[in-house]
Structure 1
């Protein structure tokens, strides 16, 4: 049986992310970092919203496509530099995804819907953009937070947690509180939310 356009698009996104030179090790297995991240995004999205649209599923999978191609240190190491870097990344992710979706044969309207999601257009106004933001935050909290918290001061972590919480919906908050955290992480989360 021939794979669907959706399956082909997901496979092509995975192929791109499999080229990541950065590795992430978990359970003694090394993964290309962005390939693992994208698969976690898909898994978390379907746990959170089992009926997520195809557009939202593709946007979640392509969220960090080829992220390693634009290095953070190509921009000034301040807030403005950070925001410019993030904007460049969004454009890269959206452009690469658009190219894949065109090659696979999706129509312009569908492609625009996916790229608008990747660019986080209309956050807090568009339900799917908000779901994607929730999933990004949930993946961070579930898979990367403990490790991140070990590398930074408690003050910085509390600040980041508060900023993360503001981006999320009430439903996202409920889901975040179901995650199993280490004692230290849980204490930081309680502090951030008090």
Structure 2
């Protein structure tokens, strides 16, 4: 078995412990599979580090619940920052065990903390995959019960995180109603 497969299997085993279920399976495991699927579709030549980052982007996310931080904007950003740090450290440990060099273990943290977004091609690729996964699998349930203005702001923030190529591809692949579609136009 390859080092990459060893790490992916360890991520899946960790995420299989997620108590939140979706269609009778651990939600974190399904999310990782969806991220890997979108990465393979959008970036078929992705490096092993990017493949690991996509699969493990939310590794054991439930261990640090959102409500363990203040339920305000600064609390959300602090929680998200800590999640990125924790996920990077957890994946680096898995990579170390599988024999990946320390430079690649450090790189995984850069990707998951989104350092250099808009400047680093792999960080940007990961962000585009995150946005596609959100739009494809999670946007509809997320949108239920939300007001139109709030939802528009979320769509606009999602589009701003994406590369121009990613936004163009969203317009090709998704039948978004106006004004959502306008958020993805350059």
TM-score interval for Structure 1 and Structure 2 normalised by the shorter chain: over 0.9
Q: Counterpart of 1:66?
A: 60
1:192, CA displacement in angstroms? 4.5
**Pairwise mapping of residues 42-61 of structure 1 onto structure 2 (< 5 A)?**
42-61=36-55
| Structure 2 residue corresponding to 1:163, chosen from 141, 157, 165 | 157
Structure 2 unaligned runs (5+)?
none
Q: 2:180 aligned to 179, 185, 189, which one? A: 189
**For each residue in 1:68-127, what CA deviation from the matched residue of structure 2 results, as whole angstroms up to 9, or x when unmatched?**
011111111111000001011111111110111111111101111122111111111100
- 2:117/2:123 contact within 8 Å kept: yes
CA shift, 1:61, in A, is 0.6
What is the aligned-residue RMSD (CA, Å)? 1.4
TM-score normalised per structure 1: 0.91
C-alpha contact 2:38 2:129 (8 A) present in aligned 1:
yes
1:179 is displaced (CA, Å) by: 3.1
Aligned with residue 22 of structure 2, among 24, 34, 40:
24
Distance 1:91 1:134 in 2: 20
Contact 1:20 1:33 in 2 (8 A): yes
2:6 aligned partner: 8
Tell me the residue number matched to 2:137. 143
Query: What corresponds to 2:104 in structure 1?
Result: 110
Q: 1:193 Cα deviation (Å)?
A: 5.4
8 Å Cα contact 1:159/1:192 also seen in 2? no
Of 34, 47, 66, the residue aligned with 1:40 is 34
Distance in structure 2 (CA, Å) of the matches to 1:179 and 1:149: 19
Residues 83-122 of structure 1 mapped to structure 2, 5 A cutoff = 83-122=77-116
Q: Following the alignment from structure 1 to structure 2, what is the Cα–Cα distance between the partners of residues 150 and 11?
A: 34
Greater mean alpha carbon deviation, residues 162-171 or residues 172-181:
172-181
For structure 1, list consecutive stretches of 5 or more residues without a partner in the other structure: none
- After TM superposition, give the deviation of residue 24 of structure 1 in Å: 1.3
Count of aligned pairs: 185
Contact 1:90 1:119 in 2 (8 A): yes
Contact 1:138 1:176 in 2 (8 A): yes
Deviation at 1:17, TM superposition (A): 0.5
